[in-house]
Amino acid sequence: MTESTPRSLQDLVAHVGRYPEEAFLFVREGLGFASERVHGEESEAHKHLQKFVLENEIDWSDLAASYHAGELPEELTEAIDQAGGPEKLNRHVSGRELCWALRDYAMQRWGLLARVVLEAWAIRRTQDFGRIVFGFIDFDLMRKQDDDRIVDFEDVFTFDEALGPLPGRGCPPHDRQLPAA
């Protein structure tokens, strides 16, 4: 973010311009769900290191390099060791992994209504998840790796196949008579 003034969630919603606040909150919460699914539960050591990375505006690879060079304070070196070593620092998830985790998170939260809730927020394709994520990235509220691209979110799955059709679509009419037994 080039400005020194913090931007609000409302600013982010206006910047992206398609989705309500609830959609952004869902994706942000879902990122934690995805990271835990891919990497396991976040330890206190990871939380401490995450805070250090954010406060010092450095990348995980920079932290690992400083660890290997012996340039970190003992407290940080111990936290890295407790976290499983420098190769376990980065809890990044790919766009594809995030899409599937968001699908599962929605199903966990809303069950069969997951598709209806996402549709109400104008989330109709996996690309919509990508637009929200890259909005967060534009505002420096999420970080990406050098090889992360918005196209990573394209056509990961269709909502019809992953969440089922919307009520009223693809269902037989209710007024049909069943054949006599």
| Best CA proximity match to 26, nearest among 127, 112, 99, 93 | 99
Task: Determine the pLDDT at residue 126.
Answer: 98
Instruction: With H, G, I as helix, E, B as strand and everything else as coil, classify residue 134.
Output: helix
The answer to whether the beta carbons of residues 167 and 116 sit under 8 Å apart is yes
Does position 60 have pLDDT exceeding 70, yes or no? yes
- Strand, helix or coil at 159? helix
Are 96 and 38 a contacting pair, CB within 8 Å?
Answer: no
> Up-side HSE of residue 77: CA atoms within 13 Å toward CB?
9
- Render pLDDT for 16-56 as a digit per residue (tens, 0 to 9): 999 999 999 999 999 999 999 998 888 888 888 888 888 88
Range with the poorest average pLDDT among 28-32, 86-90, 96-100, 112-116: 86-90
Residue 2 pLDDT level (bands cut at 50, 70, 90) = very low
Please give the pLDDT value at position 181: 53
How far apart CA 18 and CA 141 sit, in angstroms, is: 18
Token pair in block for residue 116: 């209806």
pLDDT in tens, 121-146: 999 999 999 999 999 999 888 888 88
pLDDT of residue 125: 97
Q: Which two tokens stand for residue 153?
A: 């979110």
